[in-house]
Amino acid sequence: MLTPLDTLRCVVQRTITTDRGGLPPDSVKPAEAVGAATEGPVETVPGADAAACPGALPAAGCDEPSPWSRPGDERFFTASRATRRVEGVVTWSLVSKPPPSQSAAADGVNDLQSIGYGVLNLKRGDPGRVLAYLERVVRQCDSAIPLSVGGRRALVGTVTSQFRQGPADVVLLTSQDAAAWLLLDGTTQLSDTELARIVSVAASRLLPS
């Protein structure tokens, strides 16, 4: 007997605490940050009917949004045949000093920073070649190039910022059987030093050796 696709239990999703995965705000925000908060993390695992769910990855083109810009996408998770995904968002604010031309009593500028993140755990050996797929997407669609960031090899590209005129940074990190991505955005561009610090911390938590 065939089961309608819309009744298949392809995935199970639940909110978890950061001690079970994800990025606690205190782990990535700078010491001077204020108002740090987190959304999620949300864990996705295969559902009872996962083996019967559609399993073809979309074409590695730019017609559809990339996985890091569509958190919670059940279709991509099912197609990847991953064993687990954890996603979330960390935000914080920085209050910068007023410019010298203003009074010392003037209010500083509130600078909002956001990190969207995800980590995808794959079956041993990555039989679906998901790592190669993600690398093609970030290279083709986000103009990513390989760089050493925070002591880790990464593909770093850009997407349109949701907070300011200009680009936001996308970072793809991979290991043998997992991939992690970061979408770093905010009202100001991160410095290279701050980007490296965040990538190093995120990599150690999302892709431990």
User: What is the pTM (predicted TM-score) of this model?
Assistant: 0.87
Is the confidence at residue 64, as pLDDT, over 80?
no
Quick check: 47 and 12 in contact, CB under 8 A? yes
First-to-last C-alpha distance (Å) of the chain: 45
| CA–CA distance, 114 with 106 (Å, rounded to integer) | 26
**Residues 95 and 109 sit within 8 Å (Cβ to Cβ):** yes
Q: Tokens 């600078």 — which residue?
A: 111
Q: State how far the Cα of 32 lies from the Cα of 50, in Å rounded to an integer.
A: 45
Q: Mind giving me the DSSP string for 89-137?
A: EEEEEEEEPPPTTS-TTS--EEEEEEEEEEEEE--TT-TT-HHHHHHHH
- % of the chain exceeding 70 in pLDDT: 89
* Pick from 70-74, 78-82, 197-201: least confident: 70-74
Give the CATH number of domain 5-206.
3.40.1000
Average pLDDT over residues 178-188: 94
DSSP 70: S
Torsion of CA 73, 154, 164, 22, to 10 degrees: 50
Average pLDDT of the residues in 180-187: 95
Decide: helix, strand or coil at residue 161: coil
**Hey, how many other C-beta atoms are within 10 angstroms of the C-beta on 116?**
22
